[in-house]
Amino acid sequence: MPQRPIGPGLDPRMHEALHRLDLRIVRRLEGLLHGEHLGLRAGPGSEPAEARMYQPGEDDVRLMDWSVTARTTVPHVRDLVADRELESWTLLDLSASMDFGTVDDQKREVAIGAMAAVTVLTQRVGDRFGAHFLHRGRIRRWPARSGKAALMSLLSTVAAAPEGDTSDAEGAGLADALEDLARTRSRRGLRVVVSDFLDTPPEAVSAQAPAGWERPLRSLAGRHQVLAVEVVDPRELDLPDIGLVTMQDPESGRTREVRLSPRVRRDYRQAAQDQRAAVRAALRRCGVPHLTLRTDRDWIADMARFVIEQRRTAHRLSRHTPAIPR
């Protein structure tokens, strides 16, 4: 499908800001994640994998691992990792609730940075990446491409999108966008969902009352490797003691005056905790890794720690997974 820009072209200052963001991500990740290959997945190529005992008549003697054979006095061969290209797609939530932030960055800016960071972590020669955007109640698509120029074009397209309004509040939601992604992108690969998941009701902590997006996400995770990135602002978790304030729902545009009494703040804090617990429970039932990024934290460092932990988990699982007999 041809590219459909979301907004007008960017001025030179915005291009410079995107280049600084890209350099910041690359340099920080290179300093935090050691090694030549950075990735959320096992790297492709003809790299040697685990050594195993030689099976006469089944294994190619040219794959003999002589070092292991000499140490163990038992013939061993070493498998190779198959070479393949990765096609990754990011579903980026650009709904009105993402245009919110009370610290240095808005949630949208953190979400765009997360999309860029995941692309940097997973891309190698020949890999392609594309994106679906949920913006103003409509689903927009950016075709899969490869290369640094394509990444900068993608970031420019997203950054140029105007802030969401309430004109299409009854349009497509996160569940619709997930279903569209699963239906139109069937080739196996990596799928990244970046959202605040604010449309998750607190009752979704129970499997008897699942969130609307849970079923399509579970279906997506059944075929692809999926990562869910939740973007949170501290004011969504707690309210300050500032008395009478006027609040506005960014999705519906409704306003209401609220006196932030201790009881209101306590109830709000509890409701926020219940809602976040429901998000965690739903993602856990879907079997999807969950990364939370906050606007008041160093989200690049948080992402690097998450990748390191995922690698350690994958390594532990590979060590304890029995080999499949030939």
287-321 burial string, b = 16+ CB within 10 Å, else e?
ebbbbbbbbeeebbeebbebbeebbeeeeeeeeee
- Provide the strand spans (E) within 103-239: 128-135, 138-145, 190-195, 225-232
Indicate if 64 and 91 belong to the same structural domain. no
Percent of the residues in the chain that have a pLDDT greater than 90, as a whole number: 30
Contact 120, 126 (CB under 8 A): no
- At residue 79, does pLDDT exceed 90? no
- At residue 36, does pLDDT exceed 50? no
Average pLDDT of the segment spanning 131-153: 89
Helix (H) or strand (E) holding 255, with range, is strand 255-260
The reported pTM is 0.75
7 in a structural domain: no
At residue 220, the pLDDT reads 93
Determine the 3-state secondary structure of 251 from DSSP: coil
* Residue where a domain stops, chosen among 80, 104, 136: 80
- At residue 326, does pLDDT exceed 50? no
- Which two structure tokens, joined as six digits, stand for 150? 């394509």
Indicate if 67 and 211 belong to the same structural domain. no
Q: Please give the Cα distance from 224 to 243 (Å, whole number).
A: 48
* Residue where a domain stops, chosen among 80, 97, 126: 80
Indicate if 219 and 102 belong to the same structural domain. yes
Indicate if 66 and 123 belong to the same structural domain. no
- pLDDT band, very low/low/confident/very high, at 162 (cuts 50, 70, 90): confident
At residue 164, the pLDDT reads 59
Contacts of 176 by beta carbon, 8 Å cutoff, 6+ apart: 139
Average pLDDT of the segment spanning 177-205: 90
* Residue where a domain stops, chosen among 30, 59, 80: 80
Indicate if 76 and 161 belong to the same structural domain. no
Indicate if 219 and 240 belong to the same structural domain. yes
Domain range for residue 66? 48-80
Task: Please count the structural domains in the chain.
Answer: 2
133 in a structural domain: yes
Helix (H) or strand (E) holding 246, with range, is strand 243-248
- pLDDT band, very low/low/confident/very high, at 44 (cuts 50, 70, 90): very low
Classify residue 97 by burial, with Cβ atoms within 10 Å: 0-12, 13-18, 19+: buried
**Ordered DSSP codes for 17-53:** HHHHHHHHHHHHHHHHS-SS---SS---SS-EEEEEE
At residue 12, the pLDDT reads 58
Which of 120, 49, 131 has the alpha carbon at shortest distance from 90? 131
**Ordered DSSP codes for 188-212:** -SEEEEEE--TT--GGGGSTTS--T
Weakest mean pLDDT among 72-86, 139-153, 181-195: 72-86
9 in a structural domain: no
Indicate if 176 and 71 belong to the same structural domain. no
Average pLDDT of the segment spanning 245-258: 80
30 in a structural domain: no
The residues facing 72 across adjacent strands are none
User: For position 134, which CATH number holds?
Assistant: 3.40.50.410
Indicate if 174 and 298 belong to the same structural domain. yes
Indicate if 145 and 91 belong to the same structural domain. yes
Percent of the residues in the chain that have a pLDDT greater than 70, as a whole number: 77
- Computed over every residue of the chain, the mean pLDDT equals 80
Indicate if 188 and 230 belong to the same structural domain. yes
Torsion of CA 309, 315, 319, 320, to 10 degrees: 40
At residue 147, the pLDDT reads 85
62 in a structural domain: yes
Edge to edge, the sheet with strand 138-145 lists 138-145, 128-135, 87-93, 190-195, 225-232, 290-294
At residue 17, the pLDDT reads 60
Q: Please give the Cα distance from 33 to 39 (Å, whole number).
A: 9
121 in a structural domain: yes
Helix locations, 33-147, DSSP H: 66-72, 107-122
The more confidently predicted of residues 245 and 7 is 245
Contact 228, 283 (CB under 8 A): yes
Q: Please give the Cα distance from 259 to 257 (Å, whole number).
A: 7
Q: Please give the Cα distance from 210 to 202 (Å, whole number).
A: 10
Q: Please give the Cα distance from 254 to 251 (Å, whole number).
A: 8
Q: How many other β-carbons are positioned within 10 Å of the β-carbon of residue 322?
A: 5
Indicate if 59 and 185 belong to the same structural domain. no
Indicate if 159 and 71 belong to the same structural domain. no
136 in a structural domain: yes
The more confidently predicted of residues 222 and 34 is 222
- At residue 92, does pLDDT exceed 90? yes
- pLDDT band, very low/low/confident/very high, at 13 (cuts 50, 70, 90): low
- At residue 81, does pLDDT exceed 60? no
Q: Please give the Cα distance from 256 to 251 (Å, whole number).
A: 14
199 in a structural domain: yes
